[in-house]
Structure 1
């Protein structure tokens, strides 16, 4: 019973203190991989313990201990992935709140006449901006446009059809890559004739099922 309670205490200390201390810094900056690995190494040493000044045997790899408890692990954090998740969350907040002070400051510096999802690193960027850009790929895998201001959505460059896991293509090479969704709409409804000419039947049906704002 005593060993079980001790292990439980170590688990709480690792999760609530050792792995929580760098949370604030990780939500702003991309921490070097070597530092993340060093934090994990110290957590593993604390978990398995030290005897007579020497590390005890590590009976399981750290990757295994980071698995969810339902899969046999202990649910510890992989610090590099945790860092990227925190930065992606900050990027999401900027994306959802373009009128916030932080969004306005970054827009004025890095994408004054563009969109945050298309913004580049720019010249002499801050460490914060470089860190945020590194996390953008996580959002690109799951974020899609909601058709409202169709003037902003690029048909072939943006993800905007909910049922598709990738961006759509076209059989018409003459179409410009930056053509907007607005060109597919006529008098407030989808132009079915145009959709039929440029997309296969499956994509055509999926687009037609996307509701348009009144």
Structure 2
């Protein structure tokens, strides 16, 4: 499998990297298609009270779940939030800013704990609420 294609192989340079890439595709499917049967099964078993990106490994995870969780960090590193209405994104605990050096809000204001990005937006005009900012 790791031989060059001209030598009769499949041309995979590193099977582990290829495997992680394929698992990353599965992660992306769980994120973008949460209503699929597979996503619903994983959610029921491993992350009933949270979303896929915040799910823990849990006790006695299956080999498949353990492998998907290993690839999740790769997907997380290469993805970013689309804010939309801001109802699903926490202000303080999730990397939603469009900055590569630090996508997290770095304030320690107690008023922002467990608040969603939607509270920073004016819904009628789709602008930032400058009074809160």
> What interval of TM-score do these two structures reach, taking the shorter chain for normalisation?
0.7 to 0.9
- Superposed, 1:70-149 pairs within 5 Å as 76-149=12-85
Q: Counterparts of 1:180 and 1:156 in 2: how far apart (Å)?
A: 9
Gaps of 5+ in 1: 1-6, 20-75, 196-214
Aligned residues: 127
CA gap of 1:158–1:172, structure 2 versus 1, over 3 A, is closer
Stretches (4+) displaced over 4 A: none
Unaligned regions of 5+ residues in structure 2, if any? none
Give the root-mean-square deviation of aligned CA atoms: 2.1
CA 1:143–1:8: 2 relative to 1, 3 Å? closer
- Judge conservation of contact 1:144–1:158 (CA < 8 Å) in 2: no
**TM-score w.r.t. length of structure 1:** 0.54
1:82 Cα deviation after fit? 1.2
Q: Give a deviation string over 1:98-147, Cα, whole Å, max 9, x none.
A: 01110011111111121000000112211110110011000111212211
Alignment of 1:148-187 (within 5 A): 148-161=84-97, 163-165=98-100, 166-187=102-123
TM-score normalised by the chain length of structure 2? 0.82
